[in-house]
Structures are given as C-alpha cells and as structure tokens.
C-alpha cells in the first residue's frame, strides 16, 4: 500500500499479505463501488479486508510516521462482512454489516471497535415474515492438507428425506465467497435445496500464495478443491449425494464447464456468463485480454498451448452432464459467443444442453439486471433443476 500525492510517494505498509479493500461476493451491488480506504490524521488508513470469508475492518499505521507501524490493527471482526463504512475525525466508525441471515444494518463503534451498537432495523419486519435457512461453516482438508472453507445453507424447513445440494463456485477467479447474505441462495434453499459456496484455491483472503497459485493453471488445484469439497459435503447424512448440482458465473462458469468434462459426479450443472474459450475471449473481452494475459503470463501468440489447454471448449466432447447455459446478450466481459461456442460444441457431440439468452443484460445481470430479466432467469433455472434434479429418482 502506497501513499501518493503530487509531492511525495511513500510506502504505508511493508509486505502485509492482505487484500485491502476487497469485499466477498454475493448477489447485490453493495460493497463493490463504495470507498474502501479512509485516511484519518492521528489514526492512519482505515480499510476493510477479507479474511477467510469474512470482511473485517482495521487501522493501518504508516511505516514512515511510526517505526513500529506499517502493521494492521484489527478493529471490527466476526462472522460477517463489512460492506461500507465512514469514520469521523475523532475516529468513531459508522458501518454497514451483513451476515448470511441479515441483509445488512447500520452500526456505530468507537475507533478501537468497542461499544458497538446497532442503529437501524430496516429488515426486522421483513425477517419476521420469512423463514431463512441457517448457514454453517464447513472446513475440510484438501488432498495436500490445505484448509478449504465452505458455507452450507440448510433449507429453512428440514426435509423429510435426503435433499439435493447445489454447490456454487465464485467468480473472479480471485473474488472470494463467505459470510454474506445471499438472496439467491436463500431463495434456492426455500425450494428445498442445500446450497453451498466455497473458496477453492484462487480466492483472496487466504494470502497471496493461495490466491495466485492458480495463475496459468485454471482447472488444476482449483478443480480438485471443488471436487473435494463436493465429496465432503455430500457425505452429510441430510444430503442426497446422487443429486449434486454445480453452479457458477464467469470464472465460476468456467469451473462448471471444466468440471463436467472431467467428472460425472454432478447430476446437473449451470454455467452463467461463462469463460469457455480463452483464445477467442482474449480478442473480444472488454479489457482487450490484458487480465487474461496477466493470469496466464502472456498472450495467445506466445502461449497458444496454455490458452488451448485451459479452455473448457477443448474438452466439451467429454461432457456427459446435463448443462444449462445462461448468458446476457450485452456481456462485454465474457461475450455471449463464449456460451454460443459451448452450446454448439455440445450439440455436435450429442451432449444434453439448454441455452437461455437474456436480452439487454451484461456481465453483472445477477447484480444489477432488470427484475423482469431476473425473473426470466429464475424461471429457467428452477425449471431446469426441477426436471433434472428434483423430479428424478
């Protein structure tokens, strides 16, 4: 972290292995465009940061102003996510906090994180009218002993028989999941599904080594992590291990299409706005392919084999799992041609595939799409899951 002004540039921290400013992923826009850094004289930099699926808040003392500084002083912690905050000149902190059973409320605390109190109850009336599923943290050891976190949401009404499981893979690929409210997941759990999100290798909040370990190697350790988490969750006696669904968007959609080419453990799969063919994506994505080149370590011209070998399209002929593709027609991050290629490849190879095109929507349709199109998406998703999971024995 650097302090920059027209006259001076100075380092604030030194090798802190923290993703300053990042929020965990969910299905609403809060926390993404808000200011995530705040400078207060006498205190330092106040920043939120992800840590193993939570989003905490802390003060950072600059090194040059305090030889003992350059360190993070934790202020607000807990199994929750800080979406936004504002600090007064005296250091008092107002912040919005959410967790899996609360869409978010406004709180106030002192600069050291003490005397925390809730200021609003905007969701109290609504919460009294609905039944929400409870979330539990499930941590499992990967095959190489790395600790992986998953959050399992149970149906609000306990099923009388074993229930299906939907495992959702985050996007990014470095954008983590965690302790945050999800309207989508609560909606699916109300339909009788167990719903899980997890942080396979690649997500932030676990250190740089964990996050960068998949660079240039999508579909390797991250895929093994997803598969291992699915296996562990399906051993839950309340879950029907024969009715597993893999779901994801963007990079999460990549993982869905990659996984079903290499395993048949999932009954059905849903890929939204997915990364399918890295070569064509490099020439059509909105940033000119720079993000992908940074991930892989070069451009298609010099790394043709890597782009080819890391593309789910290359292995589409191996897919045996029913797949639903959903894509916004105005997506500039992952243009709809990505899903069009996967759909065509599966049709040629005899795979079972459905394709829903959403007009007028871009890459963040789930976050900011029109309610008409979100309803269209829900209906398509629910019908697909009903026919391929709930109604099958």
pLDDT for 10: 66
Taking phi over 0 as left and psi of -120 to 50 as alpha, with beta for the rest, 15 belongs to left
The CA–CA distances, whole Å, from 165 to 49, 201, 339, 389, 392 equal 30, 21, 24, 10, 14
pLDDT for 18: 81
Q: Which has more confidence, 114 or 61?
A: 114
- Predicted confidence (pLDDT) per residue in 305-345, tens digit: 999 999 999 999 999 999 999 999 999 999 999 999 999 99
Q: Which has more confidence, 388 or 32?
A: 388
Which of 29, 47, 25 is CA-nearest to residue 38? 47
pLDDT for 73: 83
pLDDT of residue 11 exceeding 90, the answer is no
- Predicted confidence (pLDDT) per residue in 262-273, tens digit: 999 999 999 999
pLDDT of residue 35 exceeding 80, the answer is no
Percent of the chain at pLDDT > 70 equals 92
Q: Which has more confidence, 197 or 4?
A: 197
Matching CATH number, 135-390, of 3.40.50.720, 3.30.1490.190, 3.30.479.30, 3.40.50.1820? 3.40.50.1820
pLDDT for 349: 96
- Residue 128 CB: number of other CB atoms within 10 A? 7
pLDDT of residue 123 exceeding 70, the answer is yes
Provide the pLDDT confidence category of residue 8 given band limits of 50, 70 and 90.
low
Residue 379, classed as helix, strand or coil, is helix
Contact 154, 194 (CB under 8 A): yes
DSSP 71-101: SEEEEE-SSSEEEEEEE-TT--EEEEEEETT
- Residue 134 CB: number of other CB atoms within 10 A? 12
Which of 317, 381, 383 is CA-nearest to residue 345? 317
Residue 142, classed as helix, strand or coil, is coil
Ordered by start, the domain boundaries in the chain are 2-122, 135-390
pLDDT of residue 3 exceeding 80, the answer is no
- Predicted confidence (pLDDT) per residue in 128-139, tens digit: 999 999 999 999
pLDDT for 39: 75
pTM, full prediction: 0.91
- Predicted confidence (pLDDT) per residue in 40-80, tens digit: 666 678 888 899 999 999 888 776 666 655 678 889 999 99
pLDDT for 60: 82
pLDDT of residue 6 exceeding 70, the answer is no
pLDDT for 45: 82
């Amino acid at each position: 972290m650097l302090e920059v002004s027209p006259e001076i540039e100075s380092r604030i921290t030194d090798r802190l292995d923290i993703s300053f400013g990042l929020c965990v992923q969910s299905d609403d826009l809060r926390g993404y465009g808000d200011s995530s850094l705040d400078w207060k004289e006498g205190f330092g930099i106040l920043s939120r940061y992800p840590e193993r699926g939570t989003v905490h808040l802390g003060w950072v003392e600059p090194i040059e102003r305090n030889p003992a500084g350059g360190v993070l002083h934790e202020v607000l912690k807990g199994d929750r996510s800080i979406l936004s905050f504002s600090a007064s000149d005296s250091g008092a902190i107002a912040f919005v906090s959410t967790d899996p059973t609360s869409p978010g409320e406004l709180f106030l605390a002192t600069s050291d994180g003490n005397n925390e109190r809730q200021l609003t109850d905007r969701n109290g009336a609504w919460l009294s009218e609905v039944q929400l599923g409870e979330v539990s943290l499930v941590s499992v050891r990967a095959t190489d002993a790395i600790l992986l976190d998953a959050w399992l949401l149970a149906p609000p009404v306990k099923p009388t028989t074993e229930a299906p499981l939907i495992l959702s893979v985050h996007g990014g690929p470095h954008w983590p999941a965690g302790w945050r409210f999800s309207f989508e997941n609560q909606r699916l759990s109300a339909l009788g599904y167990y719903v899980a999100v997890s942080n396979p290798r690649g997500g932030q909040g676990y250190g740089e080594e964990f996050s960068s370990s998949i660079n240039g190697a999508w579909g390797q350790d991250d895929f093994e992590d997803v598969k291992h988490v699915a296996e562990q969750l399906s051993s839950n006696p309340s879950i029907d291990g024969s009715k597993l669904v893999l779901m994801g968007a963007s990079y999460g959609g990549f993982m869905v299409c990659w996984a079903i080419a290499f395993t048949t453990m999932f009954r059905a799969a849903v890929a939204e706005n997915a990364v399918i063919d890295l070569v064509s994506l490099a020439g059509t994505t909105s940033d000119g392919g720079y993000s992908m080149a940074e991930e892989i370590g070069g451009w298609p011209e010099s790394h043709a084999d890597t782009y080819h070998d890391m593309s789910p399209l290359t292995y589409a002929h191996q897919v045996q799992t029913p797949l639903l593709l959903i894509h916004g027609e105005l997506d500039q991050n992952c243009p709809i041609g990505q899903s069009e290629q996967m759909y065509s490849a599966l049709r040629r190879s005899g795979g079972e595939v459905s394709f829903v095109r959403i007009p007028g929507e871009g890459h963040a349709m789930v976050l900011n799409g029109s309610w008409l199109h979100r309803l269209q998406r829900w209906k398509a998703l629910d019908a697909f899951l009903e026919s391929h999971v709930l109604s099958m024995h």
